[in-house]
C-alpha cells in the first residue's frame, strides 16, 4: 500500500524536538505515516522510545526515520577510527528502531551530510569503497532486527557519494543485501536526473521509499513538479511503499540553516492547512 507521510521538520526550526505533538496531529491532517529524526530517537531512553511507538500505534500512524550522519560518524571515512564510530552509532540507531518495532531509516546512512569530496582526492572511489564496506556490515545487522536502510539519492551540493539513480543502482547492487535499498527524493531528482520516469523505473524493485516535494521544497501541488510522469513511473514498477513529503517553507533555526532556507518560502504560512491540502493532493494524484 502506498502510504502518505510527512517529515516532522516541516513544523520545526530545530531537529531535536518533542515528537508527541506531531504524532497527535498528522493523522487528523490526512497522513498515515510520520517520518522522525533518527538522530533524536537514538538518544532517547528505550522506555520513551516504546511509549512513542505505542502512541503512534494508538493513532494508526506508521513511523519511519531519517538521518543525515554527522562528520564524526562518517561511515565512508578513510579514517578507520571515524568509520568505526559511525558503525557503532548506526548500530545503536538500528537497535533503537528495532525497539520501536522496526521499520525504515533513510537519508545519508552511507556517508555524512552535508559533505564534499575530501581535499586532495580526484575520485570518490576510496570513500565509496569504505561506504560499501560499512553497508555490507550494517545491512545484515539491520535486516536481522527488522530494520531497512534506504540510501537517499542526494544532489551534488549536499553529498558526493550517490548523486543519481545510476550511482544508486550500482551502490545497492554492490552491497547486495535485501535490507539495503534506495530512497528517491523529487527535490534532488529535479537537479540530477535526465528523466523522473526513467530514474524511478531504473531503481525499480530497489525503490523502498520516495520523498515528495516541489523544486523549491514547497508542499506537493504548489509548483511545477511533473507529478503525472512520477505517478505513471510508480505505477509502471508496481510501487507500493511510503510516499513521504518533505517540505521546508520556513527560514530560521538549525533546520532553516541546514536546508538552506534564507527567505520565507510561503508568507505567514498556515502549516497545518498547507500539510492537509498537500496530503489531499498526493492522495488524489499519486495513489
Which are the catalytic amino acids?
A: 152, 246
Q: For residues 91-121, b (16+ Cβ closer than 10 Å) or e, as one string?
A: eebbbbbbbbbbbbbbbbbbbbbebeeeeee
Our CB check for Mn ion shows the closer of 144 and 254 to be 254
Cis, bond preceding 114 (omega within 30 deg of 0): yes
Per CB under 5 A, the segment of 167-175, 207-215, 230-238, 249-257 that binds Mn ion is: 207-215
Residue 246 binding Mn ion, by CB under 5 A: yes
* Minimum CB distance to Mn ion, residue 12 (Å): 16
Cell of 267: 508568507
Our CB check for Mn ion shows the closer of 82 and 246 to be 246
Name the 3-class secondary structure at 5. Answer: strand
* Minimum CB distance to Mn ion, residue 246 (Å): 5
CA 40 from centre of chain: 14
Q: What's the N-to-C CA distance of the chain in angstroms? A: 9
Per CB under 5 A, the segment of 24-32, 70-78, 170-178, 238-246 that binds Mn ion is: 238-246
Residue 217 binding Mn ion, by CB under 5 A: no
Our CB check for Mn ion shows the closer of 82 and 210 to be 210
- Of 172-191, binders to Mn ion (CB under 5 A) are 185
Our CB check for Mn ion shows the closer of 74 and 246 to be 246
CA–CA gap between residue 201 and residue 179 (Å, rounded) = 20
CA–CA gap between residue 282 and residue 280 (Å, rounded) = 5
* Minimum CB distance to Mn ion, residue 122 (Å): 28
* Minimum CB distance to Mn ion, residue 7 (Å): 8
What is the DSSP-derived secondary structure letter of residue 8? G
- Of 51-70, binders to Mn ion (CB under 5 A) are none
E-assigned strand segments in 200-266: 207-212, 242-245
* Minimum CB distance to Mn ion, residue 58 (Å): 27
DSSP secondary structure, 228-240, as one string: HHHHHHHHHTT--
CA–CA gap between residue 172 and residue 191 (Å, rounded) = 21
- Of 105-164, binders to Mn ion (CB under 5 A) are none
Which of 211, 217, 218, 222 binds Mn ion (CB under 5 A)? It is 211
Our CB check for Mn ion shows the closer of 185 and 214 to be 185
Residues in contact with Mn ion by the rule CB under 5 A? 185, 211, 246
Amino acid at each position: 500500500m502506498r502510504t502518505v507521510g510527512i517529515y516532522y521538520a516541516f513544523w520545526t526550526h530545530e531537529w531535536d524536538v518533542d515528537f508527541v505533538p506531531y504524532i497527535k496531529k498528522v493523522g487528523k491532517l490526512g497522513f498515515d505515516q510520520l517520518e522522525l529524526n533518527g538522530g533524536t530517537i537514538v538518544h532517547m531512553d528505550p522506555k520513551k522510545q516504546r511509549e512513542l511507538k505505542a502512541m503512534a500505534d494508538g493513532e494508526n500512524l506508521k513511523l519511519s526515520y531519517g538521518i543525515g550522519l554527522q562528520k564524526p560518524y562518517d561511515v565512508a571515512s578513510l579514517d578507520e577510527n571515524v568509520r568505526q564510530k559511525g558503525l557503532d552509532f548506526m548500530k545503536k540507531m538500528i537497535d533503537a528502531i528495532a525497539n520501536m518495532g522496526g521499520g525504515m531509516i533513510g537519508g545519508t546512512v552511507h556517508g555524512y551530510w552535508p559533505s564534499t569530496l575530501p581535499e586532495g582526492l580526484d575520485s570518490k572511489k576510496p570513500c565509496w569503497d569504505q561506504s560499501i564496506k560499512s553497508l555490507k556490515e550494517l545491512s545484515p545487522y539491520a535486516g536481522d532486527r527488522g530494520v531497512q536502510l534506504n540510501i537517499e539519492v542526494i544532489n551534488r551540493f549536499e553529498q558526493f557519494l550517490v548523486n543519481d539513480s545510476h550511482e544508486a543502482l550500482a551502490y545497492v547492487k554492490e552491497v547486495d543485501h535485501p535490507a539495503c535499498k534506495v530512497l528517491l527524493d523529487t527535490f534532488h531528482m529535479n537537479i540530477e536526473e535526465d528523466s523522473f520516469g526513467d530514474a524511478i523505473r531504473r531503481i525499480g524493485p530497489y525503490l523502498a521509499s520516495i520523498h515528495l516535494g516541489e523544486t523549491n521544497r514547497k508542499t506537493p501541488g504548489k509548483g511545477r513538479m511533473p507529478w503525472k510522469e512520477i505517478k505513471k513511473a510508480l505505477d509502471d514498477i508496481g510501487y507500493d511503499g511510503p510516499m513521504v513529503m518533505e517540505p521546508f517553507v520556513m527560514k530560521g533555526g538549525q533546520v532553516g540553516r541546514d536546508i538552506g532556507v534564507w527567505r520565507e518560502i510561503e508568507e505567514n504560512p498556515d502549516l497545518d492547512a498547507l500539510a492537509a491540502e498537500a496530503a489531499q493532493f498526493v492522495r488524489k494524484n499519486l495513489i
